[in-house]
Structure formats: structure tokens, C-alpha cells
Amino acid sequence: MSKLLNCLIKKDNSCVPVWFMRQAGRYLPEFRQIRLHNPDFLKLCFNSTLATEITLQPLKKFNLDAAIIFSDILVIPHALRQQIEFREKKGPRCPNFNINSFLETSEKEFLLTLNPVYEAIKKTKNVLEKNKSLIAFVGAPWTLIIYLFNLKTQNNVNKKIVIKNKVEIKLVLKKLDEFLKIHIIKQKEAGAEVIQIFDSWAGLIQEENLNEYCYEPNKSLVKFCRDNKIPSICFPKGLKKNYKKFVNEVKPDAINIDQDIDPLWAKDNFNKICIQGGMNPNLLLKSQREILDETERYIDIFKNDPYIFNLGHGILPQTNPNVIKTIVDKVNLIKR
């Protein structure tokens, strides 16, 4: 069993697995070279050969414990007949959400669109070293709704969102729950061993709506993963103190903390659950001494607990790849 699976399933704290969100991304020159010739991001996600190559790029450079398949959370709304635009420096959006075509999409049509993702997982699994895990992922329903309804703007990026069209949202939540589960099981069948659930905009939910839009949708996906023997990692970014309730309600195999969560607080409040991440990605732009000190701090805080080294969000594009190597080598040197 791989280091990552040992940590997730057996709660083994004898070593620290290490991988990074967005480890296959714009900070790597070889990835930028591929993007140069493949400007359409969605088409790139659905090119199984290139998606496999991109997935494996960081593992060829660094001694990581897991690959995460190169894809995007928005392949789901795309496969549910929605137009998705990826705009440079402005982020993705769904310009004209059509609820009728969304709800009418069949499972057959959905899977036909997403088949290249499953092919990329199969290809990656076939060449991945046996001691490395393969992670797949989905976006949590609320975070997908943010993009479908274009609820995030420059003006409200740090404000709680008031939901007005609740009847429509409820229909969308139900459809997403059903089809996210289909995508999860197909990724597992293709060779993925772990599912990470990204609720990247959980922090924008009003307190009184957390149960309906965050806890319950994530709990449904985690239960599905557990019933199908797939370890799950949840990342409800921005929840602050409500991380504790999330862990108690949802009960994933691991919880990824963001950089706003004090790791000491997490250690005291998460009841021995496997913890992942936390280190601020911005710190990777600092001096080597600062980077190594912070790396050691996280590992030391969780030295008696099952802990997966990662960040509080994805690797920033301006990060020097040598920094990733420095961190990975440091984590792999630490003996518990």
C-alpha cells in the first residue's frame, strides 16, 4: 500500500506523504510549452494523451507520493451541456446557464463527453510507479453552482452570497449530486485510488445556509465514496471556525486545511482525522530559509498525527520549480 493510502486508510503517522494541489501546472516550463500549442483549456483537458503527460510531469521532476489527474472541476457542467469560458486573468464562467438542457442531460451523453478523462486516468495508472497513488477529483456542488450562476464577482469575492432563486438551486443541487457520483465511480473504475472534493468557495456561504449548501452536499459525496471504498479528502476552503463542524458532520477520510486555519487549532479540534495541507502558497515565493522553517513547523505540529504535506491552496504560477524540489526533499528526509 502506498504512503498516501496508508495515511488515509490506516491513519499511519510513521511518515509524511507529500503532493501539491496544482502540481501539474503553470509554474512548470514544460507545462507552459504544452499550453503554448494548446490554447483551448477544455480541449486540453479532453486530450487524454496530453492530460496524461501533464499529470506525470511533476513526478518526473520531484519525489512525490501521488499524481493528481490533469483535469478541471468545470468538466462536469460542460458535460451537462453548459458553455464554459476560461478567461485569462478573470477566471472561468458560464455565460448563459440553461437549466433545461442541464437537467435534461442523460447519463449516456454525460459519460460520452467525459470519456477522455477516464482514458487519461487509465493511461496514467498504467505507467505510474506502483508506490505512487493516483488522485482524481470533483468540485463540490456549491462551488460548481458559483460558476454556473456566475455568483462570484470582483465586488463580492470576500462577501457572503445571498441566494434568491432557491427552487432552481435545489434542482441543480440534486442533478449535481447524482452526476458527480457517476463521475466519481467512473474515475475509480478507470484507476483512481483517492477522490479529493474541492469546495473552493465554501467560505462564501451564509452561516444559516451552510448545512444545505455545504455540509449535506459534501456528506452525500463522502458517504458515496465510503460505500464504494474510495478514500476521500475534502477541501472546504474559507470555512474558518466552521471547519470543525464540517469535519464532525461530513466525516471525510482527510481534511485539507487552508492557510487561514491555524494548524495548532486544527490539531486540537479535528479529533485525530487525517489532516492535509495548510501551508500558505505565497510562502513559496520567500527565501529558502523561510520556506524550510514553515515546512518544518507544519510537520512538527502534526508529528503524532496522520498528516499529508500539501498547501493551503494550489501552487502559484510564479513559483520556482526548485522550491518544490527543496520542500519535497525536506519532507522525505524527515524521520518520525
Amino acid making up residue 253: D
pLDDT band at residue 160 using 50, 70 and 90 as cut-offs: confident
Cell of 240: 474558518
Q: With pLDDT > 70 as the criterion, what percentage of the chain qualifies? A: 97
The model's confidence at residue 319, banded by pLDDT at 50, 70 and 90, is: very high
d(CA 206, CA 208): 6
Distance between start and end Cα atoms, the chain: 19
The dihedrals phi and psi of 91, each to the nearest 5 degrees, come to: 85, 170
Instruction: Scan for cell 483551448, then name that residue.
Output: 40
CB contact set of 254 (below 8 Å; sequence gap of 6+)? 7, 8, 231, 232, 233, 234, 273, 274, 275, 276, 306, 308
Question: Please, are residues 280 and 311 in contact by the beta-carbon 8 Å criterion?
Answer: yes
Domain 3-333 sits in CATH at: 3.20.20.210
When pLDDT is averaged across residues 2-10 and rounded to a whole number, the result is 96
- How many Å apart are CA 298 and CA 300, to the nearest integer? 5
- Render pLDDT for 14-47 as a digit per residue (tens, 0 to 9): 999 999 999 999 999 999 999 999 999 999 999 9
Residue 13: half-sphere exposure toward Cβ, Cα within 13 Å: 13
Q: For residue 73, is pLDDT > 80? A: yes
Predicted confidence at residue 157, as pLDDT, reads 55
pLDDT tens digits, one per residue of 40-71: 999 999 999 999 999 999 999 999 999 999 99
Cell of 254: 482527510
Pairing of the two strands 91-93 and 85-87: antiparallel
| Confidence at residue 303, expressed as pLDDT on a 0 to 100 scale | 93
User: What is the pLDDT, as a whole number, of residue 88?
Assistant: 75
Q: pLDDT, tens digit, for every residue of 199-245?
A: 999 999 999 999 999 999 999 999 999 999 999 999 999 999 999 99
Residue 37 corresponds to which amino acid?
A: H
pLDDT reading at 119 higher than 60: yes
Mean pLDDT over the full length of the chain: 95
- Where does the pLDDT of residue 158 fall: very low under 50, low under 70, confident under 90, or very high at 90 and above? low
pLDDT in tens, 245-281: 999 999 999 999 999 999 999 999 997 899 999 999 9
Q: Give the Cα separation of 62 and 65 in Å (integer).
A: 9
Question: What is the reported pTM?
Answer: 0.97
The answer to whether the beta carbons of residues 230 and 180 sit under 8 Å apart is no
Q: Residue 308: pLDDT above 70?
A: yes
Band (pLDDT 50/70/90 cuts) for residue 312 is very high
The C-alpha atoms of residue 210 and residue 219 are separated, in whole angstroms, by 12
CB of 27 within 8 A of CB of 311?
no
Backbone dihedral region of 159: left (phi > 0), alpha (psi from -120 to 50 degrees) or beta? beta
Sequence ranges of the domains in the chain = 3-333
pLDDT of residue 288: 97
